[in-house]
Chains A and B, each alone.
Chain A
Amino acid sequence: MNPPNPDAPRPRQGMDYGESKDVQQVHAAIQREKQEPRIGLEPLSIWLIAIYAIAIFCGGAYLGRFSGSFNGESLDPLVGEQPVKKAGAAGAAGAQQATELTPAERGKKVFMANCATCHQANGEGVAGQYPPLAGSEYVIHGTRRPAMIVLKGLEGPLTVKGSHFGTAVMQPWEKTLTDQKIADVLTYVRSDWGNNASPISADQIAALRKELAGHPGSWHEADLQAIPADANLPGGEQGGAAQKPGAPPQGSAAPATPGANPPKP
Chain B
Amino acid sequence: MTSTDIPLKSPGSVTDLSAAEVEAVERALIDASTRVPVLMFYTSAIAWLLLWTVLAFVASFKMHAPDWLSSVSFLTYGRLRPAAVNVMLYGWASMAGMGTAIWLMARLCRTTLRHPLLLVTGGAFWNFGVVLGLIGIFMGDSTGYQWLEFPPYAAIVLFVAYTLIMSWAVLMFSFRRGDPMYITQWYLLGAFLWFPWIYLAAQVMLFLTPVQGVMQAAVNWWYANNLLFLWFGSLGLGTAYYMIPKVIGRPVYSYHLAAIGFWTYAFFASWTGMQRLIDGPFPAWMVTASIAAMILCAIPFATVSLNHHLTMRGYFGLLRYSPTLRFNIFGAMSFTAFAIVGVLISLRSVARYVQFTEVSVAYSHIGLYAFFSMVMFGAMYYIMPRLVGREWRYASLIKIHFWASAYGIGLLTLMLLAGGFVQGLDMDDPTLAFTETTQALLPYLRGRSIAGILLTVAHFVFAYHFVLMLLGLGRTASVPTFLNPVNPEPEDAIAH
Interface membership of A173, Cβ < 8 A: no
The residues in A between 1 and 20 inclusive whose CB is less than 8 angstroms from any CB of B are 1-5, 8, 10, 12-18
B431 close to A101 (CB less than 8 A): yes
A2 close to B306 (CB less than 8 A): no
The residues in A between 93 and 121 inclusive whose CB is less than 8 angstroms from any CB of B are 97, 100-101, 105, 108-109, 111-113, 116, 121
Within the assembled complex, what's the spacing in Å between the Cα atoms of A150 and B306? 65
B219 → A minimal CB distance (Å)? 17
Cross-chain pair count, CB within 8 angstroms:
220
| Known contacts A24-B13, A55-B299, A75-B281; is-contact A63 B288 (Cβ 8 Å) | yes
How many A residues face the partner with a CB closer than 8 A? 77
B386 close to A30 (CB less than 8 A): yes
| Known contacts A2-B485, A71-B285, A76-B280; is-contact A109 B433 (Cβ 8 Å) | yes
Which one of B258, B389, B394 has the highest number of Cβ atoms from chain A below 10 Å of its Cβ? B389
A55 close to B284 (CB less than 8 A): no
A29 close to B386 (CB less than 8 A): yes
Query: Which residues on the A side are within 8 Å of B141 (C-beta)?
Result: none
Against A, the Cβ 8 Å flags (1 = close, 0 = not) of B292-331 are 1101101100110010001100000000000000000000
Interface membership of B391, Cβ < 8 A: yes
How many B residues face the partner with a CB closer than 8 A? 87
A63 close to B289 (CB less than 8 A): yes
Closest to B283 in A: A72
B27 → A minimal CB distance (Å)? 5
B201 → A minimal CB distance (Å)? 21
A74 close to B27 (CB less than 8 A): no
Within the assembled complex, what's the spacing in Å between the Cα atoms of A38 and B482? 24
Within the assembled complex, what's the spacing in Å between the Cα atoms of A38 and B293? 31
Within the assembled complex, what's the spacing in Å between the Cα atoms of A33 and B260? 29
Within the assembled complex, what's the spacing in Å between the Cα atoms of A33 and B382? 10
A51 close to B28 (CB less than 8 A): no
A90 → B minimal CB distance (Å)? 13
Interface membership of A28, Cβ < 8 A: yes
Query: Which residues on the A side are within 8 Å of B20 (C-beta)?
Result: 12
| Known contacts A14-B478, A30-B27, A48-B302; is-contact A75 B486 (Cβ 8 Å) | no
Provide 19 A-B residue pairs closer than 8 Å at the C-beta atoms, listed in order of the A residue. A1-B481, A10-B478, A12-B21, A24-B13, A25-B32, A28-B477, A29-B385, A34-B495, A36-B179, A48-B257, A48-B303, A56-B296, A62-B291, A62-B292, A66-B291, A72-B283, A75-B282, A77-B279, A113-B435
